[in-house]
A and B are shown apart, each in its own frame.
Chain A
Amino acid sequence: MVTDVLVVGSEGAGARAAISVCEADPRARVTLTTKGRFTKSGATLTAGTDIDVDSTSVIELFGLEGDRRDTKDTFLEDIVVEGRYVNNQKLVEVLVENAPRVVKEVADWGMKVMGVARAAGHRYPRGILSTGVEVMKGLRNKVRQFGDRVTVMEDTLVTDLVVDDAGHVSGATALDLRTGEPVVFVSKVVLLATGGGLRVYPWTSGPEELTGDGHGMAYRIGTRFTDMEFVQFLTCTLEAPPSKVRSVNPFQLYGGWLLNREGQRFMARWDPVRMEQSTRDNLAIGIMSEILEGRGWTDDKGGYVLISMKHLPDQIIDDSPAIQAWFKKDFIESVKGKAVKCFPACHFYCGGIVKNERCETNIPGLLAAGEVCGGVHGANRLSGNAVTEILVDGAISGVTAAELVANRDTPRLGKSHYEGLVEKILAPFNRKEGPSPIQLRKRIQKLAGYKVGVVRDADLLRQAIAELQDIKAEAAAVAVYNSQKVYNREWVEALQVENMALTLEMIARSALVRQESRGTHYRRDFPKSDNSNWLKNTFLIKNEEGDMVVTTAPSVITKVRPKEED
Chain B
Amino acid sequence: MATVHIRRCDGPGAEPRWVSYEVPLEDRMTVLGVLDYIYENVDTSLAYYQSCRMGRCAGCFVQVNGKGVLSCETTAFDGMRVGPLENYELVRDLVVDLNKPLKKRASNDRG
Contacts and interface: CB of A to CB of B under 8 A. Distances in A.
A334 B95 CA distance: 32
A42 B51 contact: yes
Nearest to B58: A40
Interface stretch (A1-9, A110-118, A483-491): A483-491
B44 interface: yes
Nearest to A204: B53
A516 interface: no
Interface of A: 36-37, 40-42, 45-46, 131-133, 154-155, 178, 207-209, 241-245, 330-331, 334, 438, 480-484, 486-490
A41 B59 contact: yes
Contacts of B98: 37, 40
Contacts of A208: 50-53
Contact of B56 (A46, A488, A489): A46
Contacts of B49: 36-37
Nearest to A42: B51
Interface in B36-95: 39-40, 43-54, 56-59, 72-73, 75, 91-93, 95
B15 interface: no
A11 to B, nearest CB: 10
Given A45-B52, A486-B91, 18 more contacts: A36-B49, A133-B56, A155-B91, A178-B91, A207-B51, A207-B57, A241-B29, A242-B32, A243-B54, A244-B54, A330-B28, A334-B27, A438-B44, A482-B43, A484-B47, A487-B95, A488-B45, A490-B44
Contact of A36 (B43, B51, B53, B73): B51
Given A484-B45, A487-B92, A490-B44, A242 B57 contact: no
B28 A331 contact: yes
Looking at A41, A132, A133, A243, the one whose CB has the most chain B CB atoms below 10 A away is A243
Contact of B10 (A132, A241, A243, A484): A484
A37 B27 CA distance: 30
Contacts of A481: 44
B51 A41 contact: yes
Nearest to A36: B51
A244 B32 CA distance: 12
Contacts of B11: 486
Which secondary structure characterizes the binding site on chain B?
Answer: loop
List the 9 closest A-B pairs by CB distance, nearest first.
Answer: A482-B45, A40-B59, A242-B30, A490-B44, A487-B47, A41-B51, A241-B28, A207-B51, A207-B52
B33 interface: yes
A489 B43 CA distance: 11
Contact of B28 (A45, A131, A334, A480): A334
5 contacts: A42-B51, A208-B51, A334-B27, A482-B43, A484-B47
A40 B57 contact: yes
A486 B47 contact: yes
A302 B72 CA distance: 23
A204 to B, nearest CB: 10
Nearest to B33: A242
Contact of A242 (B58, B59, B73, B95): B73
Contact of A132 (B28, B56, B75): B56
A132 B32 CA distance: 22
Contacts of B45: 482-484, 488, 490
Contacts of B57: 36, 40-41, 45-46, 207
A86 to B, nearest CB: 31
Given A241-B28, A241-B33, A482 B72 contact: no
A480 B39 CA distance: 13
